[in-house]
A and B are shown apart, each in its own frame.
Chain A
Amino acid sequence: MTTQDQTPPENPVAPDGSLLATSEDQWSRVHVISPLVRGWIALVAIAFFAGQDLFEGLLSGDGMPNFSDSGARLPWAIAILAGIVVLVAVGFLLSWYFTRYQVTEQHVRVNSGVLFRQNRQARLDRVQAIDVVQPFLARVFGLAELKFEVADAGESAVKLAFLKLSDAQRLRATILARAAGVSIDPDHPDDIQEAPEREVLALKPGRVIAAALLSGTTLVLIIGVAVILIFSVTLDEAAPLAVIIPLGLGVAGGYWGSIKNGFNFRAAISPDGIRVRYGLLDTRTQTVPPGRIQAVGISQSPLWRIKGWYRMTVNVAGYGVSASGDAQARATLLPVGTQAEALQILALVLPDPGTGEPFEVFSAGMAGRDSRAGFVSTPRRARWIGPLEWRRNGFAVTDTALLIRSGYFWRNLAVVPHERTQSLALHQGPVYRRFRVADLLLHTTPGPVSPRIQQVDEETAWQLFNEQGVRAAEARRRSLPEQWMKPVEGAEEALMPQVPSYDASAPVKDLTEPAEAGPAPAGEDESAHNGQR
């Protein structure tokens, strides 16, 4: 285990033996003010309306509440208000009192509910991802929410809101250590530390803002404004100009969303998987253990071509599919990055590219067309189905993954590791049959990436369909165990993997240097600072 390029563990977050329940009835509770942090909007609303009433009363009573007139009413109003506050507080306290959690050797259990009790139990080795989320108000109080995802594609299996940030991090370390199958010495439960992590990439705010300004939102703005101007000029009326207001609001919202979620983005690798952090007001730390990423998408919107930027999204079984900005941010592995950075991150997901010249293959997938670097594209005879994109459509197979390329204006590349293939389907409609082409769909868990090889020659499609089944079966047999640290003999090397890279000369070192030069070591400590100051 090398030490020189690790994040110095100044404030080591160790899996805490005391967090593990030793007996059946040792339970913990979340932080006592957490219902307040969760329900603060309700309180603010009550305060707002009550305050508004009082304020109006003050105004109409010429600056002073008129006690002679409404002397009977004012105490009532105060009593009602106090009653509501007490009721809400009691409700909060009850819900806090009845929410308890427990982490055992194999399970995490949560009991909640006052009248309708809910007992939930999730297996630790089924973890798909763990998030530590800090909404803005929770950050003020130094609290954090822990989300534990299993593969049900819906809501989080276990949500602990809110814990002290350090507790949340310790709990995450404990859960990951358990899930990884690290055996904890019963005499010295504090000996293992959270797997060390190494920062791979950090985005500067300038890049995130520029990326937002060059995103598809800007295209919408340009097209929208052009349409409105054309209408108002040809109709010789100013009425269409009013549409600019909602358009502007929508565009501003789009910019805000992408800046907020890309801000302060950092990616790191650790034996427990890939860890990304981001957020402007709310901060989120996501950990995806090895082998939990089902598919990777690399996309480029038209204006990003100027700068050669790419965005990476992933399908993770626990994240589910939802159109909300939050869910989209969760499924983003890299909000904006150059080709080299995207390849760097891709190398974390797919350490073994399965080809001798990964750089050529993946860059052909990201920006190339025709049959460069082993890609197979749509046959020429079918060019009329997609006159623009037929040279972009295509796929390439490496020993470990299937690469699917598509899109002319919006370029897309989907990478599906063979062992993650769920099922495959060939689709062929009448038109496709006429041109002897077919679509090949790879089914994957719900998420932003939906891999579909478009308009490929039907013979090739069938061959790929057959071979892919065999390759997937083969890859599954070789794939990692569910408990990724279980093989003890390999534990020494596994403890701190080298940052995988496709190119020996790739600037791995350069990327990590700024982080090491900076005064604050990247890692848990920094987010702890964020949380407490």
Chain B
Amino acid sequence: MNTALNTIAFRLMQAAGVALVVGVMSFLMMQAMPGDMAFRIAAARYGYDLVNADLANAVRAELGLDAGPVTQFLHWMGGLARLDLGQSLVSGQPVWDEITHQLGASLQLALAAIVLSLLIGPPLGICAGLHAGGRFDRALLVVAASFRAVPQFLLGLLLIILLAVQMRLLPAAGHGSLAHFVLPALTLALGLAAASARITRDAMAGVAASPLYAFARAKGLSDGEVLRRHGLRNIGAPVVTYLGLQFVLLVEGVVVVETIFGWPGIGHALIHAVFHRDVPMVQGTALVMGLGFVLLNAIIDLIVRRIDPRGVQS
């Protein structure tokens, strides 16, 4: 129990560190980007037909951009200390409102993708691992490598053409109904499943070739019983740990997939905020995503400890 508390305390400190580093880094990066910020924000607000020097000057005066980066940064950190992420420079809406709306949409999509990938990847990996070197194993290697190698951008378009345009089964893009989930989630899931199938396959092959597995068989357990009692738990730890890592892949994929499918998510929002020099939005989004990773890692830690309690007592 103590170690669990230690884990949480460690992760809390890590969260504070991440907040500081993400805040400073995203601010510095935004400052280092080329182009006049006032012009970029004016272009984002009013569009390319209207942006001109007058509007840029009005934006500069309104936002106090002449005050210099240090003042702006201190202002943002001050707001953060009061748990206030500020307001978007483009829409004028509170950053927190925009993030919750967009993060919600991204999380739903990410969750659907993870669930789908878990239904596809690990079961196939287990099958292949149990018969390592067999025909199925070799076929899976090829299929998984291809899906991992196809850019999500291409995969997404292929799925739209196949399932939405040709077969008319699903909407091509958009957001709102359950059906809209399937294509973007599947695009993400296929890439994730390809990786998790390989990880599961390697872990399974390792366990299946181990003496403990041979012993379990020797004592007369059926294949199914060996797998359930000894196999699953042994491959659990590496697979769950890898699942945590997959969220990094997922964030990368979400950015692309959201843009293709017109999904109102946080990856899409972050790209636009960077493009538009919407500094509070970039900082807020990066912060929430950074803290999200810390939380996720904490959860994975705790789950892995439950699956494999060895080392906890010592």
- Bound pair: A and B? no
On B, residues with C-beta under 8 Å from A are: none
